[in-house]
A and B are shown apart, each in its own frame.
Chain A
Amino acid sequence: MVNIRRASQVFFLCLFMVIFLRTTLVGENSTGPLATFFMDIDPLVLISTFLASHSIMPGMLLALIVIGLTLLLGRFFCSWVCPLGTIFNAISAFRGGNLAEKIRTGSWNRWQKSKYLLLIGLLVAAIAGLQVAGVFDPIPLLYRTMATSIYPAFAWGADQLFTWLYLADPGIGPIRVTLVSEPIYSLLRAYVLPIEPVAYDGGVLIGLFFVLLAVLALIRFRFWCRFICPLGALLGACAKTSRIELRNNPEACNDCNLCVLYCHGGCDPHLTGKWKKQECSLCFNCRHQCPSGAISFEWKGPGTSKQIVPPLPPRREKKEVAKDNG
């Protein structure tokens, strides 16, 4: 399950990047396919635009599918689709702190409520006619940062590096660096780099905002997703009606807290009966990490419940790491 999730994350991140690179002049006066796909599936773009301007583009209705799936399955978008979530996920893998520290900060924190407050503020502002949700919405945020900061910086850096390599051309005898660097540069030129160098007024500020968020991801696991993201808050609110529920079997649980260590959303999978549905992004790390097979996911139908993701078989031999750390 975890590997399927990771594949999904990588797929959507790559899709985002490919669409991004293809959103450029193709032919006479047209651009690559699916240019607006990620904006169209973003429910916060749909809702805030509708509240502020009372009209939408037909393509934006795609976001209703995401809302519908979230009402049914929960906040899967954050750990399965969101490209910004995937990026912070990867950055957070390098965060510091010892095991006890990571477990302490990995469980639910009352400041996670702040993202819902930001969402409320943004939506009230949108109703009043001020549309600034896009400043904090992760999909526009990532696209804007890529377009005006990361991509121009990458293009400039690549140009500088490969030009320098070409001019210096270090090597031993007939084995030259340019034998490798020039084909790579040709590939980049053909598929990645812009035709003309690009630079943007104010791109540095947008880049610094992103750097700040990246630093926060090094302090807390997916800081942005847990504490700030208004789209996560919107999906969390929708997830309240979700049919999928985590079940932590108290008889099997050995309180090792490994599930908290790897939890994406900070939803407290380790506390029996205190799992926070609106924070869970269905990353399934808890079930994957649990050495005693205590965690499963159930489908709660009207009056029935069915185990849809059974616990993994117990692996008692696995290290019982964090038992003393509480």
Chain B
Amino acid sequence: MAEKRSKGREKSKTALSRRSFLTAAGSGAAATVLLNVSPIAQGKTFNPDLIRPPGSLTENDFLTKCVRCGQCMKVCPTNAIHPTTLEAGLAGIWSPFLVMEVGYCEYNCTLCCQVCPTGAIEELTVEEKQQVHIGTAYIDRSRCLPFVFDTPCIVCEEHCPTPKKAIWFEDVTVRDRDGNEKLLKQPHVDPELCIGCGICVVKCPINDPAAIRVTSGGETRNPANQFLLSTSPYG
């Protein structure tokens, strides 16, 4: 009898009290609600710097699957995939995003899709992956050599990996400071063709920052994240 009572006491010592159980459960629920109070989490805005690996699910689905293991970061051969700190909100801490100042998404590579353990990044074939837009490049005409420095440069177009190049040239004749005529090729991005791989950013001879940059606008996984609004948000 005495032993039975002492066993009961022992059990109540290690068992979680109802109060602590409910507190923990309530904290989990409260954290979910609090961390979703942000325009990004609710899909009202998109972070232009949050470029997810190719094959990533829609942002909300992605965050329900990503376990922040970092395998995509380890396997990426160009060191392009990094852990977020607050780029994806606090709820998305340490999830993967591409930093194109460091690396770019290699056209013929699907390694991150292959190693994702939970399917947050879908396993795509190389052909499928090459159709996925992870973002779109745009040219900064206030920094680009042929636009402001009257200097010939075709680096971005040369590296552009899509079969029909997403970067095309307009031949223009300009006058430099001394009044001499110059024939220049000024680059343009075709957003229909650009997959946002970012190799143009890495290779651009202008640094701090590059004269061509990639934002997440136009990404395949979020049809709502377009830089050209097809309709007004106010209907």
A contact set with B: CB distance below 8 Å: 20, 23-25, 28-31, 35-36, 39-40, 45, 48-49, 52-53, 55-57, 59-60, 108, 110, 113, 116-118, 120-125, 128-135, 137, 139-140, 143-148, 151, 195-196, 198-203, 205-206, 273-274, 276, 278
Contact = CB atoms under 8 A, between A and B. Distances in A.
Contact of A57 (B23, B75, B84, B118): B118
A104 B6 CA distance: 22
Interface stretch (B61-69, B157-165, B183-191): B61-69
Contacts of B85: 201-202, 205
A80 B74 CA distance: 26
A128 B32 contact: yes
Interface of B: 3, 6-7, 10, 13-14, 16, 20-21, 23-29, 31-33, 35-36, 60-61, 63-71, 73-75, 77, 79, 82-85, 91, 93-94, 99, 102, 108-111, 114-119, 126
Given A29-B111, A35-B114, A147 B71 contact: yes
A133 B28 CA distance: 11
A39 B84 CA distance: 20
A116 B70 contact: no
A241 to B, nearest CB: 15
Given A53-B65, A125-B29, 17 more contacts: A20-B74, A24-B77, A29-B109, A39-B67, A52-B65, A56-B119, A60-B117, A113-B14, A113-B16, A122-B28, A124-B29, A132-B93, A144-B83, A199-B79, A200-B82, A273-B7, A276-B14
A99 B207 CA distance: 60
Given A35-B114, A129-B32, A140 B69 contact: yes
A23 B66 contact: no
14 contacts: A24-B74, A25-B77, A36-B117, A57-B119, A113-B14, A113-B20, A128-B32, A132-B31, A140-B70, A148-B83, A195-B77, A196-B79, A201-B82, A203-B83
Instruction: Identify whether the interface residues of A are mostly helix, strand, loop, or mixed.
Output: helix
